[in-house]
Amino acid sequence: MSKKVTLKQCLGIDVSMKKIDCCLSFYTEELKIKVVATSGFENSPEGFIKLREWLNRKQDNALALHVNMEATGTYHEEAAYFLAGVGYRLSVIQPTKGKQYAKSLDEKNKTDKIDAGMLARMGLERELLLWSRPNEQLRCLKE
């Protein structure tokens, strides 16, 4: 039996003040979306390190990993800086864009885990703009 080929992979992250819910999904050669793993982590530097360790075990290392998250006030920022800093391709979308996409899927339920899965699926299906890290001076002014 041959191994199934992954064409694209995306990590969807639903961010809240204290935690991040994550869903890693693959787009396969059968043109299907497969949820590979889900997990939750603290929205903190320690949580981001655990997220990276989890990803190192779960992701397909032969492919670039794309991360898709919603801009959630300022709660998403530290995760975005961390993930971009370790080299992941990252998109930070406006919440209304995520909401419209979820509506198109006709998803009636709304939980953090479902939202993370929706964001992963969106990242697999769409070509999203990549997030560009603001320069340090702008970041310091904002803080």
Superfamily of domain 6-138: Ribonuclease H-like superfamily/Ribonuclease H (3.30.420.10)
Q: Is 70 helix (H, G, I), strand (E, B) or coil?
A: strand
Separation between Cα atoms, residue 18 and residue 30, nearest integer Å: 37
Select the more confidently predicted residue: 140 or 8. 8
pTM of the full predicted structure? Answer: 0.89
By the 10 Å C-beta count (0-12 exposed, 13-18 middle, 19+ buried), 113 is classed as middle
Separation between Cα atoms, residue 103 and residue 52, nearest integer Å: 30
The stretch 101-128 carries a mean pLDDT of 90
Average pLDDT score, the chain: 90
The stretch 48-77 carries a mean pLDDT of 94
- pLDDT (0 to 100) of residue 58: 96
Give residue limits of the domains in the chain: 6-138
Residue 25 pLDDT class (50, 70, 90 cuts): very high
